[in-house]
Amino acid sequence: MLEIRPARPEEYSAVRAFYHRLIDLMRDAAYKPGWEKGVYPADSQLRQAIDGQQLYVGELEGETACAMIMDRQCNEGYSGAPWLVEAHPEQVSVIHALGVLPTLQGRSLGREMVGFAFERARALGSRVIRLDVLSGNLPAEKLYLGLGFYRVSTARMFYPDTGWTEFDLYEFDLREA
């Protein structure tokens, strides 16, 4: 059974190693997340998320199988999107860097992580969860659409690891489920 919990400050190196391993294992995958070691997720982003208890790890048999960040920060490209749910910034949770080790994909671990995000976001008083996916990342798109997210639009946004690239923006109304 997957145990999901906030990463602890002393686990920074292990979390960073998890993401580096994930990036290495996804290098030859058909659908790459577009991440780059030390750039995305950035070391400072990982440290800040861990310190703020916003980075969650999913463990199977004591080993990190998946991880994600959920906070209220979003790319400035979100501001022009035609969001379906009207919400103030403090009512929006944003999922970042959700990753599952390729050897464990197909076991619904991503679904469990997002289910946890639904519960956690509600507890934080959020009305909606938003996120972006590199356009063409079919496994991620399938995951989010299968969980009831709506694809709101495509936006050209800048991230240090991808440069100016097309991202699909997704939204889940927490009041509906």
Kindly report, residue by residue over 135-156, the tens digit of the pLDDT.
888 889 999 999 999 999 999 9
CA torsion 153-154-156-157 (nearest 10°) is 70
The mean-pLDDT minimum among 28-32, 34-38, 129-133 falls in 28-32
| Contacts of 51 by beta carbon, 8 Å cutoff, 6+ apart | 9
Span 77-101, average pLDDT: 95
CATH code at 127? 3.40.630.30
Could you tell me which of 40, 35, 31 has the C-alpha nearest to residue 137? 31
Could you tell me which of 46, 88, 92, 89 has the C-alpha nearest to residue 69? 46
| Contacts of 88 by beta carbon, 8 Å cutoff, 6+ apart | none
At 119, the amino acid letter reads E
In this structure, are strands 163-173 and 150-159 parallel, antiparallel, or unpaired?
A: antiparallel
Looking up tokens 């982003």 gives 45
Span 88-112, average pLDDT: 93
The first and second tokens of residue 2, run together, are 């997957």
Phi-psi region of 94 (alpha: psi -120 to 50; beta: other; left: phi over 0): beta
Rounded CA-CA distance 13/167 in Å is 29
> How many structural domains are present in the chain?
1
The first and second tokens of residue 118, run together, are 């639904």
Give me the sheet containing 92-100, strands edge to edge.
Answer: 3-6, 55-60, 63-71, 92-100, 128-134, 163-173, 150-159
Rounded CA-CA distance 50/141 in Å is 26
Q: Indicate the pLDDT class of residue 60, thresholds 50, 70 and 90.
A: very high
The domain of 29 spans: 3-173
Q: Average model confidence (pLDDT) for the chain?
A: 93
Please give the pLDDT value at position 155: 95
Most confident of 32-46, 81-95, 101-115: 81-95
Q: Indicate the pLDDT class of residue 56, thresholds 50, 70 and 90.
A: very high
Span 20-47, average pLDDT: 87
Rounded CA-CA distance 117/119 in Å is 5
